[in-house]
A and B are shown apart, each in its own frame.
Chain A
């Protein structure tokens, strides 16, 4: 029973609130000898595994640190290039830490605005007339629930596929939004929500739903 996160998107497609609830950390540290049995590539300012997944290190994982010193872009803290480092046998053995990249706030904003056209196209491509946009999107690792209010604000919850009652949860989050964000005189519409009461109440709600199910809310 895990809820991964909550996103609120304004009617113009901007991300106005996001909360990461229980995001699992996937990290793996291992010692490697020369030559590396992983194929690494440099994309989007990150060193990622391109081929050769094993022992929990999967394709798409990002190189996080080398011998304990963190990697920024393709450089170590002391300014050495990691690809040069891996080419010289005398540097080995090396302890490398790989992990699944965490989304930055910028990426979240980007994804939120990406969901907006998907939602619209889904209703346009509908084989039935008068259809809504995406309500549930399922992948093998998570399920995304989206509830659009009459005013066009979207409440999205990302949770485990087995988690029940998430449709109700999205509506409960809407209630909290109406109570603590909209009634806050310092909150201006369509702007990012920075209301402490809203956030604390939301966290309590998510915790109770995770522990005792939606029926007790």
Chain B
């Protein structure tokens, strides 16, 4: 089990934060372009899910899975979007994302008066805390195991 990378988007689609841990494949485009592509894809998936859903969706899109990785998605009511790529067998990734929101984002970004919302996060403390949380999680294990 392993965690590949994490994206945090604001409600307008600004990439607030990006970090990667185990990533083998580079997409061949710049980080900014990749973030735009990712946000565009999520935006389309959201509207796709809303239309194709046979019942009224509440949370909507949760995750998708391909042969090599799964992408987990958490959107807060305020429009903040957390995207985490893991391998396909990881469990309870949603709880990890909720923890990330509650224990790291709210504590170290929202409660930091020098962190402007809707702008890329510069805080070093936030970065270390995210790294800590991910490395502490049972999902984060290197592939050498």
Residues of A within 8 A of B (CB): 4-5, 23-24, 26, 58, 60-61, 100, 103, 107, 111, 114-115, 117-118, 121-142, 144, 158
Chain B: number of interface residues, binned into ranges: 35 or more
B60 within 8 A of A: yes
Interface SS of A by simple majority: loop
Q: Which one of B40, B41, B58, B67 lies within 8 Å of A132 (CB-CB)?
A: B67
Determine the distance from Cα of A202 to Cα of B145 in the docked complex, in whole angstroms: 44
Q: B52, A111: Cβ atoms under 8 Å?
A: yes
Q: A139, B61: Cβ atoms under 8 Å?
A: yes
CB distance from B67 to the nearest CB of A (A): 4
CB distance from A43 to the nearest CB of B (A): 13
Q: A131, B68: Cβ atoms under 8 Å?
A: yes
Which interface residue of A103, A122, A134, A139 has the most chain B CB atoms within 10 A? A139
- Given A126-B69, A132-B68, A140-B62, verify A26-B24 contact (CB < 8 Å): no
Interface SS of B by simple majority: mixed
Residues of B within 8 A of A (CB): 4-5, 20, 22-25, 27, 34, 37-38, 40-41, 44-45, 48-69, 71, 85
Number of inter-chain CB pairs below 8 Å: 119
Q: A122, B41: Cβ atoms under 8 Å?
A: yes
Determine the distance from Cα of A128 to Cα of B20 in the docked complex, in whole angstroms: 12
CB distance from A142 to the nearest CB of B (A): 6
CB distance from B102 to the nearest CB of A (A): 20
Q: Which residues of A contact B50 (CB under 8 A)?
A: 60
Q: Which residues of A contact B53 (CB under 8 A)?
A: 139, 141-142
CB distance from A100 to the nearest CB of B (A): 6
- Given A24-B54, A141-B56, verify A122-B71 contact (CB < 8 Å): yes
CB distance from A174 to the nearest CB of B (A): 17
Q: Which residues of B contact A123 (CB under 8 A)?
A: 66
Determine the distance from Cα of A118 to Cα of B50 in the docked complex, in whole angstroms: 15
CB distance from B61 to the nearest CB of A (A): 5
CB distance from B85 to the nearest CB of A (A): 5
Sample 18 A-B pairs with CB under 8 A, ordered by A number: A58-B56, A107-B51, A118-B45, A121-B40, A122-B64, A125-B27, A128-B69, A129-B25, A131-B68, A135-B67, A136-B65, A137-B49, A137-B65, A139-B49, A139-B62, A140-B59, A141-B55, A158-B52
